[in-house]
Structure 1
Amino acid sequence: MTTDALFGGRSFAAFLFDMDGTLLTSIEAAERVWSDWARRQGLDVEAFLPTLHGKRAIDTVRQLGLPGIDVEAEAEAILQAEIDDVDGVREIGGAAGFLSALPPDRWAVVTSAPRLLALRRLEAAGLTPPAVFVTADDVTIGKPEPDCYLLAASRLGVAASDCLVFEDAPAGIEAGERAGASVLVIQATHTAPAATVHPGVGSYDGLRVATDTEGRLILEREAG
């Protein structure tokens, strides 16, 4: 088997993974819950749904500026509905195998989901959370601000600029960029190619990780 090195063969101190749309797909469940909520608020569901991915629920609700609602209470109700509904949540192709090949101290999950929901979805997808696990509960300001990725890198003891971020949504891609990291776009849940300057892959099938003499990570893809 021959492989091609991505990112020009550059080595990274660590890999930082978004969760929803990147390691697992929760679109079916999330859109069921949010569609029900949006209809109750009188929103145009089709126009609204594309705006919610990759951000914290509380930020999505707050940014709508709906009159007469308790933003925190609405976000909590949505969270509970999402915890209750994980039907259709599953890993993105090859994710479990790829993660299992990584040194445990060289990767983190960085998600806009609260911790309880993130753990529920990882369990539903058959994925094990890593030692470094940054959720919406750990930051005051969510994606596209870079705080979550900066925090994950700090907890791993590395610089964010020395990391590779795996992302799928515009808010997360921007967060990775603003953290100074390199970005790989996971396109498994995209219906059309993402409008981005970053390289992308459809799944983890065919991806491999090599380590150099210092234990740094090099991302490779099977050739042919």
Structure 2
Amino acid sequence: MPSEILAAVMFDMDGVLIDTHQAVAALWEEIARGHGKTLTEEDIRRYVLGRSPEHTVSALFAELEGGSREHLLNQVRQAEPRLDFRGMAGTQRLAERLAAAGVPLALVTSGSKTRVQRVLAALGLASSFRVCVTWEDIQNGKPAPDCYLLGAKRLGVPANRCLVVEDAPSGIAAGAAAGAVCLGLTPGDGADLRERGARYVVQDLADVECRAKPGGLELVFQGNVLVTIGKEE
């Protein structure tokens, strides 16, 4: 099967570049308990992971108004930059390889600018990403396409020539709505990501080989070329 020829890659952060599932879930579970609520795993997956704080509050705390809603959002804003994380080695290696080859990279996240700076510094990737899009940059969070459209615009590359790497259904939906080719990352079978528009699904980016070829790189999974990414002229 001929591979897709693309020009840039946009990575999500939580669940793709770093593992924060437990920390993010614990933060929202603690907040929910303070409001007399108990969140299920499905609540976390559908309304928290990959979502902006504003979306989560609207979905899970719709009864809150005015000052109460803003107080809750401030709790999240103050706690979010300090969340624990660990780097996901497969993603880190792929990002380093792509950046070294001159491929334009963007980090597109529902996290804050402060946490992005902390994460990239800790992983030694601050120089790898030319562009970062954070929750401060957009009004409509994932699954709206705004964040990936903005990332592509800042990279100077049409969204339909970008590969988006995401782990959450909302993020895949955002990338697909922007017109990008989407690669889903999940420990499961990926059916929910494919339903939202993922072209490809893998369990670990360590399984994706980055192979040099004349004029660019090929991303190869289980012997199959997924996409070709051309070097910037």
TM-score with structure 1 setting the length: 0.84
Amino acid at match of 1:101: R
Tell me, in whole angstroms, the C-alpha distance in 1 between the residues paired with 2:213 and 2:138.
33
Distance of aligned partners of 1:213 and 1:223 in 2 relative to their CA distance in 1, 3 Å threshold: closer
Gap regions ≥5 residues in structure 2: 225-233
CA contact 2:211–2:220 (8 Å) conserved in 1: yes
More helix by share: 2
Q: CA deviation at 1:73?
A: 2.9
Tell me, in whole angstroms, the C-alpha distance in 2 between the residues paired with 1:121 and 1:31.
18
Task: Note the 1:84-99 alignment, pairs <5 A.
Answer: 84-86=82-84, 89-99=85-95
- Is 1:43–2:44 an aligned residue pair? no
Tell me, in whole angstroms, the C-alpha distance in 1 between the residues paired with 2:43 and 2:202.
27
Deviates more, 1:154-163 or 1:45-54: 45-54
Q: CA deviation at 1:127?
A: 4.8
- SS at 1:112's partner residue? coil
Q: Which residue pairs with 1:165 in the alignment? A: 164
Amino acid at match of 1:30: V
- SS at 2:78's partner residue? helix
- Is 1:80–2:74 an aligned residue pair? no
Q: Which residue pairs with 2:11 in the alignment? A: 17
Tell me, in whole angstroms, the C-alpha distance in 2 between the residues paired with 1:169 and 1:95.
15
CA contact 1:187–1:194 (8 Å) conserved in 2: no
Aligned CA-pair RMSD: 2.3
Length, aligned pairs only? 212
Q: CA deviation at 1:79?
A: 2.3
Task: Note the 1:1-224 alignment, pairs <5 A.
Answer: 8-46=2-40, 48-50=43-45, 51-63=47-59, 64-68=61-65, 69-86=67-84, 89-103=85-99, 104=102, 106-124=104-122, 126-129=123-126, 130-188=129-187, 193-197=190-194, 198=198, 199-210=200-211, 213-215=214-216, 217-221=217-221, 223=223
User: Percent of counterpart pairs with the same letter?
Assistant: 33
Higher relative contact order (CA 8 A, sep 6+): 1
CA contact 1:56–1:136 (8 Å) conserved in 2: yes
